[in-house]
Structure 1
């Protein structure tokens, strides 16, 4: 088939096979697997099963044989993680293990692809657990350059929201969908002739038409007619002697059950309750019979072709057969059997998560033992699969009788589970409902804290501020509770436009934390405080707080401070003080802590990409920004997505790619002209305004920058003044708005007193005031200050502004020197359009700069690769996976994948083997 040919050519692809039960999905998959193996392609095949949705990564574990008893150390290690082992004691952050397991699965699949083409099959994903669906999507998204074919099968229904999202994402990513349709009447005749060895007669054709073109039903009808001696040879073909056939496949299966012994039928029912593929040991345990007796009694079911064996499990010949037998059991009896199955399996040593679905299906309201089981199972799943935890806690809550003494405690645990699972809207709605009625005192504070977290994630700042203030005034909080409340309130105030209020709340939190000598809470308070004072332009003060928070966190083993990732915030504070090299070191230390954890990972990677942008290392910045934006999209963080687009827009504009810049900026424009601006509007406006100026719309750029400037000034926020003020002053003066220019210059000049040791703050102030006053010495001083920091844009734009005024004052040589200084930095970073602008100004001075010459890299071959691309190539050629490369280079697997795409294109190779050959020759 075409997908296998693509795979042999070293190209990744995805095939989705859809169709109703019995339509032939499994038969088609078997054909694909057999053909793949005949071609020497490694095939990993797994299947999701009913009653196993509470088993985290169950479908992927089956496909990849992830078992702690595996002879492969890597598979055994992942199996240990799946069973709750293998995690360090300090890895207590919710969601930690799930992220780590997905990364380990990615590494395993990628390593397998490095050895040769791989086929990964997961059947019946409509039954799959949510973590398995996440792992499938991660494999498809991140291993796009591997020799990998992913095949998934599913029914049109039932289809959960998680499955629907996965299928939509696969289609967006370019998957091919094969929708299997029912057989036509002529095809049914062909199938019947193959089975019977003769043409079916008119009566038989009429009977077979009841199958609706479902091949499984057709086969079952023919088998049933033959078993009941209802077929006769007419000489010209085969005819049915009766038209009285069941109206469904289920009825047909039930009809065949009538001929089985009672003991066999009872065991079949137990087997169906356990699932569509179960171990004989489990059947024996639930039936309370010796395994040998079970084997003997099920023999009749094997003879009737209802069961078969596969991988040491008893398997129904088809899920429709399983469903027919299962649905035949009265609901009350099914419930009892599921309950007994849970008890027996737990007694036999089964994992709580493996039997949780049976508990759910077998328990009735008021079953306290079942509630306890589900709560314990939810606890076991909390790190591996927060979504599973949330579902189990929902089920436990539903089993409690109305008014039970534990009802509020369980309800509170449901809220916590929903929040960890990312189901934020439901978490906040539930918390608000409980808090609005009478509730147990012990759940009040945990619910308020959970609600504050949910409100923060939904950007409902006003409600968060009110809740915090009400809580602080009306209930008795311990010191840690007060600090958490005040810290959340501080962030909400700061980001909603009241950094003064945010600073006050954070300072109060710090005083409480210090008085109680609580190191973890001191970290929370300091982090809130550094954000508030940083937004107000006191960058040096923010750095003092950040250093202290990072030091306290390093000395403390109290995990309450870990979700804040103090090293990440230290990196941000260092960056704001122009200490970019130190900031990147802090980001790398934060990444060392976070690989294997999802907390703050995308934010840290994005911050490091922005640092690459700032210093002009755009060859590394672009892949980092693209990958960071993708990771932010997956995490549901729209602010990071827009920041990624903003920096990419600036780079595209600087390179002269206006079409690309317009496409990147398109999602940003509505955020700047409609409704309430977001707190990162400054950088978005900087990017879009720069594009508008480049395209000849200075007035539109001016109005956009002024709108954002007024927004920030009204909120006492100076954070984005460095990117807003210089362009706004220049445009205001050019358009005759001298009063606006003077006002902006005055504000940034006053800001120097708040951060006197930060070179770019002083440089921007001198530039703006120098432009307003026409003071050439001030502009030259701005250049001197800008040289003290590594920031490309501030340095080069200061040079351009000073050069312009020097030329007007007859100081042609000094002007030319500064223009050359700016031009060289632009050319080194690839900002060709900006370099072209400087070249034009040099020509206006009568100076004709030499052609750029060989500063441009070749467009193909090893020498065309950037240093990072070469480093990635060497590590990949040495056999490292994307994850391992990411950890060595302190980037993300997404970024590695982006670099590899560029590498493959530049080198003209399509796989890692060919890349390794190129790397080997480059070393020689």
Structure 2
């Protein structure tokens, strides 16, 4: 034995002491409630599985819950396959929660749900399941071979790590190195960005190979054997396999204290070594091994028997030789290859034509046995040939089963079905329509529209024309291609009988939204009115909900908030009474909440938002928008700590849905809050995430709130001309779009800055416009107060401003109230009415101090001093920075529920918020209380409420 001494292997491992120590340290951190992520990367056979098995054994010895699962090469068409194996998500699971998720995955659940979003429901249930386990005891979650995993499982792993960052959970992910599928690369990047650590397992050193051989042989290898093992390249599986093979062949002899080899040849690869072992097997055993390899790396004995057309008992007996040759293991009722490389070697040894035939035979046998369509699909993808109509039909059926759970799987299956169709087949257009729908569900909207247009432009089957046009309209809407969308809708409507009444309503609603959000809300209203007329004729509540939703959005953008609210109430009432309407990708309660908020009915609006979050139907489609709307309401009434938590949760949900508009909106509101609090560095950092879009040629439809935030920061930095220019640009853009939605955001600051910079023309124009707004929404107090406020500033007249302040005083909206008080006080002060000015400034100061807007409070204090009414020494109205008293009311509620033992999901349901938001609140609670886990939090809660 040459070289320096090798450190004794820890826990049965050789050469992985450092990696194991690091993993064990992360395991120990679970005692403190810390969540962590380890990514173990390395080539096949390098020891990833052995490392995580050792970690799992140690975790069990410490009383931890261990959940293990892995991806498999022929199961990528099985949505949530990896997650299901790790968490036992089957209808037969002894855990009722896991069984319920298994029912959802099997399609046997009796609960109604929107098929398009069932995967998000499943993901949330998985997160709740893991969190429940963590509440009982720390958990080690192992997900092996994610390079084989389906996209739905990858989403589940990411969601668990993101949402349970405060739970005692160690998540271990193993993978081979690049090249990897893009979805896996994105997962690994996200895990790393979230603080996960990566362990890259390098080949064993020569000394470590010698130590491994010594352990295996119970004696040191001699020089010739050592030289032979060096050819294994430090791969421990290859080293072990060579030693076992040499032992089986009787090619090792003991000479003194060493073991030496008696042959000089070594196979060049593990695959060749496995092939050598196959030569010694009986013919029936070899045939069954090939069948098993085609079925997968861990397969049912019954499936092997079904494909081989042999009785199960005969199969079990004939495979005995493969077990003796150490090619197979038994796990429960499954045939498991000793290692993926063994499986791969046997699979690759089967000639390609034979392999394809075996896959097709496997599909037929599994079909006859009543297997899950998705279990058959993998074999059809690998075994069917062009012209196989049975395979096409089965793949389309499997794609339908996967549609709600894994859109990317659906797309892969339907593309394969399309490739199998012979040229000129009568089903070609129907399959093309399936491809378009799958592309839409997978988010590939550009390709979806291109494919739909290509089919519609050529002769095609009449029955696919309408669904393709409806799909094309949806794809164009998602790409903001309003002009093309309008043309497609009009062409479809111009063809008598082409679109059913329900289809007409859907495309008209899409056209209305496209027109409204692209800057033509009046035209959008006309189209929505047409849609409502068609829906009314059909008497179908579901189609009426589509039309009313489009109509209320168009009315709201034009400033007719009262009318929009009436239609929102009607849409919600119809949806509540219609199961068909509730299953649509719409969320009438969210729309109702936004309409209520626009009418200053903030309490009712928040109740509607909470109801929308609690509503399973359509909630996943609209989660980010609902979270954002509720957080906006928190901001508006001055619950800024809660608002920040909700905004962060909404931003995360928007990022998961690839919705940059809502991401920017979250950043904008948080910028306003940071500016008001005087944290300008944080405000600048936040604003950097969205100000670029305000410099672009085309402003987004929510530019009003973005400009309000950016201009407020610019003014705080002393750049009043820049703030004025930005607000004016957005004001002009609103005018060009005939939109009045953001007037309440833009007008007061724009008027004030215009007057300060000598632009009375702009100030007069803006004041006149917001006075016109009152005619459109006379019942909305803030619309009226904005008009009075702007008129008073332009005319330097305190009377309209005092009337505006009286209206704003009745509202729970902080910024509207305080801003009006400040504006009225400035005019009163110039007229010498210092006492009246001081009273208004005192109102503003009280509310600013209550919400923690210290920078704005400082501005008001300066105003008080200027009118001879210094604020004096006021008791601090701020909560302390640490301890129980520092918590907001929402943070206390979250803490109390967690102390009761509720999971994030259960607490969220109790509070009618999202688990994302609960998790964000808990982060703040932990920081304020100086605790690191739920046990410590519970102790603080119990001490504080005694």
TM-score tier by shorter-chain length is: over 0.9
Counterparts of 1:774-785 in structure 2 under 5 Å?
774-785=796-807
Asked whether 1:821 is paired with 2:846, we answer no
Where does structure 2 lack aligned partners over 5 or more consecutive residues? Answer: 1-23
| Whole-angstrom CA distance in 2 between matches of 1:780 and 1:559 | 47
Asked whether 1:138 is paired with 2:159, we answer yes
Contact 2:42 2:202 in 1 (8 A): yes
Contact 1:94 1:386 in 2 (8 A): no
Aligned to 1:745, the other structure's residue is in SS state helix
The normalised TM-score by structure 1 is 0.97
Asked whether 1:588 is paired with 2:629, we answer no
Q: Alignment partner for residue 607 of structure 1, among 622, 625, 629? A: 629
Deviations 1:574-601 (A, max 9, x none): 1111111111122222222237841212
Q: Alignment partner for residue 551 of structure 1, among 563, 573, 592? A: 573
Q: Alignment partner for residue 490 of structure 1, among 481, 491, 512? A: 512
Contact 1:126 1:157 in 2 (8 A): no
Q: Alignment partner for residue 359 of structure 2, among 328, 338, 348? A: 338
Equivalence for 2:910 = 888
Contact 2:493 2:499 in 1 (8 A): yes
Counterparts of 1:848-859 in structure 2 under 5 Å?
848-859=870-881
Asked whether 1:801 is paired with 2:823, we answer yes
Equivalence for 2:373 = 352
Compute the displacement of 1:242 (Å). 3.5
Counterparts of 1:830-849 in structure 2 under 5 Å?
830-849=852-871
Contact 2:502 2:535 in 1 (8 A): yes
| Whole-angstrom CA distance in 2 between matches of 1:276 and 1:157 | 21
Contact 2:517 2:701 in 1 (8 A): yes
Aligned to 2:422, the other structure's residue is in SS state coil
Counterparts of 1:386-401 in structure 2 under 5 Å?
386-401=407-422
Asked whether 1:280 is paired with 2:280, we answer no
Contact 1:87 1:97 in 2 (8 A): no
Compute the displacement of 1:158 (Å). 5.4
Compute the displacement of 1:555 (Å). 2.3
| Whole-angstrom CA distance in 1 between matches of 2:412 and 2:745 | 46
Equivalence for 1:192 = 213
Contact 1:408 1:443 in 2 (8 A): yes
Compute the displacement of 1:819 (Å). 0.4
Compute the displacement of 1:556 (Å). 2.3
Structure 1 window deviating more from structure 2 (412-421 vs 454-463): it is 454-463
Equivalence for 1:645 = 667
Contact 1:23 1:181 in 2 (8 A): yes
Aligned to 1:23, the other structure's residue is in SS state coil
Contact 2:645 2:917 in 1 (8 A): yes
Contact 2:585 2:618 in 1 (8 A): no
Aligned to 1:383, the other structure's residue is in SS state coil
Contact 1:594 1:601 in 2 (8 A): no
Counterparts of 1:396-795 in structure 2 under 5 Å?
396-474=417-495, 476-559=498-581, 562-594=584-616, 597-795=619-817
After TM superposition, which residue ranges in structure 1, 4 or more long, deviate above 6 angstroms?
A: none
Equivalence for 1:79 = 102
Aligned to 2:767, the other structure's residue is in SS state helix
Equivalence for 1:35 = 58
| Whole-angstrom CA distance in 2 between matches of 1:852 and 1:632 | 41
| Whole-angstrom CA distance in 1 between matches of 2:538 and 2:305 | 59
Asked whether 1:374 is paired with 2:389, we answer no
| Whole-angstrom CA distance in 1 between matches of 2:219 and 2:131 | 50
Aligned to 2:107, the other structure's residue is in SS state coil
Contact 1:103 1:596 in 2 (8 A): no
Asked whether 1:52 is paired with 2:75, we answer yes
Aligned-residue CA RMSD (Å) = 1.7
| Whole-angstrom CA distance in 1 between matches of 2:187 and 2:233 | 29
Aligned to 1:278, the other structure's residue is in SS state strand
| Whole-angstrom CA distance in 1 between matches of 2:918 and 2:480 | 32
Aligned to 1:51, the other structure's residue is in SS state coil
Where does structure 1 lack aligned partners over 5 or more consecutive residues? Answer: none
Contact 2:116 2:404 in 1 (8 A): yes
| Whole-angstrom CA distance in 2 between matches of 1:426 and 1:311 | 45
Structure 1 window deviating more from structure 2 (692-701 vs 904-913): it is 904-913
Contact 1:95 1:597 in 2 (8 A): no
Aligned to 2:615, the other structure's residue is in SS state helix
Compute the displacement of 1:837 (Å). 0.7
Structure 1 window deviating more from structure 2 (527-536 vs 718-727): it is 527-536
Q: Alignment partner for residue 169 of structure 2, among 145, 148, 164? A: 148
Compute the displacement of 1:437 (Å). 2.2
Compute the displacement of 1:350 (Å). 2.1
Equivalence for 1:70 = 93
Aligned to 2:67, the other structure's residue is in SS state strand
Compute the displacement of 1:865 (Å). 1.1
Aligned to 2:45, the other structure's residue is in SS state coil
Compute the displacement of 1:200 (Å). 3.6
Deviations 1:632-675 (A, max 9, x none): 11111111111111100000000000011000000221111122
Contact 1:99 1:596 in 2 (8 A): no
Change (3 A) 1:20 1:275: same
Aligned to 1:564, the other structure's residue is in SS state coil
Number of aligned residue pairs: 922
| Whole-angstrom CA distance in 2 between matches of 1:658 and 1:573 | 33
| Whole-angstrom CA distance in 1 between matches of 2:370 and 2:503 | 40
| Whole-angstrom CA distance in 2 between matches of 1:751 and 1:572 | 18
Q: Alignment partner for residue 268 of structure 2, among 238, 247, 264? A: 247
Deviations 1:536-571 (A, max 9, x none): 111111112212222222222324873221121111
